[in-house]
Amino acid sequence: MTLRTEALLTSRVGFGIVTATPAQRAAARIIDGLPLGELRDHPDVIALVGGSGARDQLHTERGSLPLEVVFLASIRSAKTIIAAAAAIRMTQSIDCSRLGPGEIPRVSLLSLRLDQSAVAHRLLLETIRASPVLSKLLVADTADSLTVRHPSGRPIEIACVAGAKTGGTLVARWSAGLVADEAPRMAGADDAVVNLEHARSAILGRLLPGAQALYIGSPWAPYGPVYELVQEHWQKPREDLVVLRGTGPMLNPLWWTPERCRKLEAQDPTAYCCDVLGEFADPESGLLSPISLRANTRERPLELPPISGAFYVAAIDPSEGSATSNGFALLVVEHLKDPDDEQEKWSRVVDRDSDQAATFAS
């Protein structure tokens, strides 16, 4: 039996999301290393991977399974369900041929706290129990783990794991996969004893062929291992690592209606930024926050012609890194004189960072 993440996601004998959106289906196909097919040119799918250029760089056309996938998305977008479907697929597709007697690979469910990883565990267990097809795979279950049978007959464990120093709970066994839920909120090695960097280092060398590490969640503060992975790899997919980013309307338009989006944006712009748009919140010390930038961005036109008689001044703040990976801040000031009251005023300031323009009206 060949299981696919998309089929598990949408089938009534799987997770039953029969109304899965093109972006949800595309995410499942990309995680499995499968071609996008008829979804290739859908605008939401193109946005999910960061543009048509990034889509063309995907290695799915030749069936290359990415070793790591970062999936940032709004809340209520089925990202945990997609990851759970991928976990089941991994238990049936990993290569166990070189394992010795008694070696039981594990798909690890990791989150900020053990009770949070239990959410994915309950979702998996109840879905498998309720399915006339998947229930035949179930061998045993406990409060924090379940065991299914691989096509070879070998048992494969899916278990909630607690974070531990240097990724201690992820060592001493072969890995059938890792699902790190709420990964964007996990700290780095310099910030916490229990951190995603140690978990990632512990797991990558232990992944069996066909296994993957999935880092899922809604963005939060702009720092940490997931933030760094996004900064480095967004719109630049590699054969072994892909970053996906989805908004609420893209992934779950039935919930994220225009009215609900407008209401949340008015009530809490930060929550709207992270939980709907899937963007990182602004740093407290940042020059420009994503929220302020979006609120003051001109939709069109991209360029404004110079005004005759105006005086222009520009300044640039070069980044410390390469210009190809770190944007430069460019400030252009247009100086006008009001002919009515002779008072000088600043009419507009344009801040351009990495080809994104924001216009501030005086």
User: Are 175 and 275 found together in one domain?
Assistant: no
- 162: Cβ contacts below 8 Å, ≥ 6 apart: 114, 169
Whether 139 and 237 map to the same domain: the answer is yes
Q: Which CATH number belongs to the domain containing residue 156 in this structure?
A: 3.40.50
Q: Are residues 192 and 267 in the same domain?
A: no
| Residue range 233-257, pLDDT digits in tens | 999 999 999 999 999 999 999 999 9
**296: confidence class by pLDDT, cuts 50, 70, 90:** low
- Indicate if the pLDDT at residue 321 is higher than 80: no
Q: 324 with 354, same domain?
A: yes
Is a pLDDT exceeding 80 seen at residue 196? yes
Question: pTM value?
Answer: 0.78
What distance in Å separates the CA atoms of residue 253 and residue 92, rounded to the nearest whole number?
32
Same domain for 84 and 137, yes or no, is yes
**243 plus 266 within the same structural domain:** no
**Are 186 and 88 found together in one domain?**
yes
Of the two residues 243 and 222, the one the predictor is more confident about is 243
Q: Of 295, 321, 350, which residue is a domain's last?
A: 295
Backbone angles phi, psi at 61, to 5 degrees: -65, -25
On whether residue 14 sits in a domain, the answer given is yes
Count the domains in the chain: 3
Q: Is residue 94 in some structural domain? A: yes
Q: Do 85 and 14 meet the contact criterion of CB atoms below 8 Å apart?
A: yes
Q: Would 303 be classed as within a structural domain?
A: no
Which residues are bridge partners to 106 per DSSP?
157, 175
The pLDDT of residue 351 is: 44
If asked whether residues 198 and 320 sit together in one domain, one would say no
Q: What is the pLDDT of residue 72?
A: 96
Per the structure, the complete domain to which residue 319 belongs is given by 311-361
- Indicate if 317 and 276 belong to the same structural domain: no
Task: Write out the two tokens for 141.
Answer: 């279950």
- Whether residue 227 is found in the same domain as residue 319: no
163 domain-assigned: yes
Residue 88 banded pLDDT, cuts 50, 70, 90: very high
Report if residue 300 sits inside a domain: no
Report the alpha-carbon distance of residue 28 to residue 24 in Å, rounded: 6
Q: How far apart are CA 180 and CA 213, in angstroms?
A: 8
Lowest average pLDDT, out of 163-172, 205-214, 258-267, goes to: 163-172
Domain contains 302: no
Domain assignment of residue 324, yes or no: yes
Q: Assess whether 171 and 193 both reside in one domain.
A: yes
**Strand bridging mode 344-353 / 356-361:** antiparallel
Q: Same domain for 285 and 165?
A: no
Mean pLDDT of 266-277: 94
Does residue 199 lie in a domain region? yes
